Structure 1
Amino acid sequence: MDEPHTDIEPVSDPGWYRIRIQGRLDQRWSTWFDGMSLSQGEDGTTVMRGRVGDQAALHGLIERVRDLGLTLLEVTHEAPDTPAEPRT
């Protein structure tokens, strides 16, 4: 039996990601989140930004957010030269 056709191709290349969560984490959490840079928004959120090696690593970061009991607000794939300031 043939597999269903899909136009979605799996992403396996490394890339830059912005992960926005509800709550504030200071920079000391950066090590736990694989060296992602952390910045706080005026709206009570934290934005993690950095290079992620592959989809498995991205899922690992999201699982850590879950393990801390934080609310995940946004995950965005972006260009490395995108400004690091949190979007409100």
Structure 2
Amino acid sequence: MNESFVYEIVVENEIPEKWSDWLEGMSIEKKPGRSTSLTGRLTDQAALLGILIRLHDFNLTIVSVIRK
């Protein structure tokens, strides 16, 4: 059974809101201290891995990943 979950991914540095399309439509919120929070519902672990790989390809440091 596939169950989707809401994830929050925090990365160092700010990223543009227009990247939302490249990141499965996740909400992008700039945080204090030049970090960015990405929040959204993902369909499965493969979708999460895809986002993490894209963030890595953009050379962004992942601070945390939380399933809500």
Task: Give the TM interval when normalised to the shorter protein.
Answer: over 0.9
Q: Which runs of 5+ in 2 are unaligned?
A: none
Q: What is residue 74 of structure 1 aligned with on the other side?
A: 64
TM-score by length of 1: 0.74
From the CA coordinates, give the structure whose radius of gyration is larger.
Answer: 1
Does 1 or 2 have the higher relative contact order (CA < 8 Å, sep 6+)? 2
- The yes-or-no answer on 1:58 pairing with 2:48 is yes
SS at match of 2:22: coil
- When the two chains are superposed, the root-mean-square deviation of aligned CA atoms in Å is 0.8
Q: After the TM superposition, which parts of structure 1 deviate over 3 Å for at least 4 consecutive aligned residues?
A: none
Specify which structure has the higher proportion of strand: 2
Amino acid at match of 2:7: Y
Specify which structure has the higher proportion of helix: 2
